[in-house]
């Protein structure tokens, strides 16, 4: 089944404890992206990647890192999480057919930072 898989789905952690949210897609998509969703603010893009070894900042990159060493994986790293990073996180991917980006989303990762 074609899908985007995020792990963990739920996580409670403490301030300053490094964590990684993994994202993997099995559709050979070039484009991958991370979003965070907060009440009243919609989805805001954190980082995106057009292809392997190519990453760019989105609207809210502060406090996050990403890497794209393989086409299928796009992990989101929080080096020193803070309570304002408590949020619902989504990974998404897309082929880049004729320049179009149409996203397939993962199920989401709900992160709480105490």
Partner 1 sequence: SQQGEEDPQALSIQEGENATMNCSYKTSINNLQWYRQNSGRGLVHLILIRSNEREKHSGRLRVTLDTSKKSSSLLITASRAADTASYFCATVNSGANNLFFGTGTRLTVIP
Give the footprint of partner 1 on this chain (CB under 8 A).
Answer: 4, 31, 33, 35, 40-45, 48, 50, 58-59, 88, 90, 92, 96, 99-108, 110
Q: Nearest distance from residue 18's CB to partner 1, in Å?
A: 25
Nearest by Cα to 85 from 5, 19, 7? 19
Match 């050979």 to its residue by tokens.
28
Q: Nearest distance from residue 112's CB to partner 1, in Å?
A: 14
* Phi, psi values for residue 14, rounded to 5°: -115, 155
Q: Which CB, 31 or 74, lies closer to partner 1?
A: 31
Structure tokens at 49: 């990647």
Q: Which CB, 12 or 107, lies closer to partner 1?
A: 107
Q: Which CB, 7 or 45, lies closer to partner 1?
A: 45
51/62 Cα distance (integer angstroms): 21
Q: Nearest distance from residue 106's CB to partner 1, in Å?
A: 6
Question: What end-to-end distance do the CA atoms of the chain give, in Å?
Answer: 36
Nearest by Cα to 20 from 54, 52, 65? 65
Q: Which CB, 16 or 86, lies closer to partner 1?
A: 86
Q: Nearest distance from residue 83's CB to partner 1, in Å?
A: 20
């Amino acid at each position: 089944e074609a899908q985007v898989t995020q792990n963990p789905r739920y996580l409670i952690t403490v301030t300053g404890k490094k964590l990684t949210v993994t994202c993997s897609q099995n559709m050979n998509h070039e484009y991958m992206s991370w979003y965070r969703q907060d009440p009243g603010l919609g989805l805001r893009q954190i980082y995106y990647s057009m292809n392997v070894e190519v990453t760019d900042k989105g609207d809210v990159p502060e406090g996050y890192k990403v890497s794209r060493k393989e086409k299928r994986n796009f992990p989101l790293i929080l080096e020193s999480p803070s309570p304002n990073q408590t949020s619902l996180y989504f990974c998404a991917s897309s082929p880049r057919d004729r320049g179009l980006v149409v996203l397939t989303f993962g199920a989401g990762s709900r992160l709480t930072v105490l």
